[in-house]
Amino acid sequence: MEKFKLKESILAGRLILLQRRHEHDADVWLAIEESRSFLREYLFWVDSTKTYADVVKATDMFAKKWDEDGEWCYNLYSLPDNRFLGCIGVHGISFMNQTAELGYWLRLSETGKGYMAEAVQALENELFLAGIHRVEIRCDVHNFNSANVAKRAGYTLESTAKEALYHYTGLHDRETYVKISPYPIRGFERKI
């Protein structure tokens, strides 16, 4: 399929997804600081995010990846009161295979409100409309909160890879949840 770019902002009911930019850096930093012990359990970049400058550096990296079509990172804000909630991103995109993977986190104070399942569905819808056929969510077999987001958003557990994921305590099994696009597969008009 042809390469495409996603929109810089996506409306998702009670929230909005905005392309990660430096104007959000202070919000991101505060959210990481207040949720550190919660987030670090399954997100290994948290311990290496030691200062505000590390957040700024990460935003630069995501801006570069956005331009190179490698990875699209969005910050989530509540509507209409504009509270910073967390992040969601598309990575591991393959235009040839029409597949993509989603990753996400919420600040602790904004969990338990249904925001992430809503964000997942809005972002996946943009991917399906653009021609992506298969979206995956991968998580540690012990990360029930993440698996529940996938299930709540209508994903199906497809496989469990043995000892495939680093964790502080050892190598853990990794689950893959999948949703297939409701639209027809594209780009196979050419005869071999």
Ligand X SMILES: CC(C)(COP(=O)(O)OP(=O)(O)OC[C@H]1O[C@@H](n2cnc3c(N)ncnc32)[C@H](O)[C@@H]1OP(=O)(O)O)[C@@H](O)C(=O)NCCC(=O)NCCS
Helix 52-67, helix 25-39: angle, nearest 10: 110
Of the candidates 63, 105, 100, 69, the residue with the CA atom closest to the CA atom of residue 88 = 105
x/- site string to ligand X, residues 146 to 185, per CB under 6 A?
Answer: x-xx--x---------------------------------
Q: How far is the CB of 7 from ligand X (least distance, A)?
A: 22
Q: Which long-range contacts (CB under 8 A, 24 or more apart) does 168-173 make?
A: 172/140, 172/141, 172/142, 173/140, 173/141
Q: Does 117 bind ligand X (CB under 6 A)?
A: yes
Contact region with ligand X (CB under 6 A), list: 17-25, 47-55, 65-73, 103-111 = 103-111
Residue 113 touches ligand X, criterion: CB under 6 A: yes
Q: Which stretch binds ligand X (CB under 6 A): 18-26, 59-67, 142-150, 154-162?
A: 142-150
- Select from 125, 145, 164, 178 the one that contacts ligand X (CB under 6 A): 145
Provide the β-strand partners of residue 174. 140, 161
Q: How far is the CB of 184 from ligand X (least distance, A)?
A: 29
- Contacts (CB under 6 A) with ligand X, residues 50-69: none
Smallest Cα–Cα separation from 83: which of 148, 24, 20, 142? 24
Per the DSSP assignment, residues forming a β-bridge with 42 are: none
Residue found by looking up tokens 């957040």 in the block: 55
Binding to ligand X by residue 128, rule CB under 6 A? no
For the bound state, the minimum distance from the C-beta of residue 70 to ligand X, rounded and expressed in Å, comes to 19
CA 65 – CA 81 distance, rounded (Å): 29
Structural contact between residues 93 and 100, judged by C-beta atoms closer than 8 angstroms: yes
Pick between residue 1 and residue 108 the one whose CB is nearest to ligand X: 108
105, 119 Cβ separation under 8 angstroms: no
**Closest-approach residue to ligand X (CB):** 114
- If binding is defined by CB under 6 A, does position 112 make contact with ligand X? yes
- One of 116, 123, 130, 135 touching ligand X (CB under 6 A): 116
Binding residues (CB under 6 A) for ligand X: these are 39, 42-43, 104-106, 111-117, 139, 143, 145-146, 148-149, 152
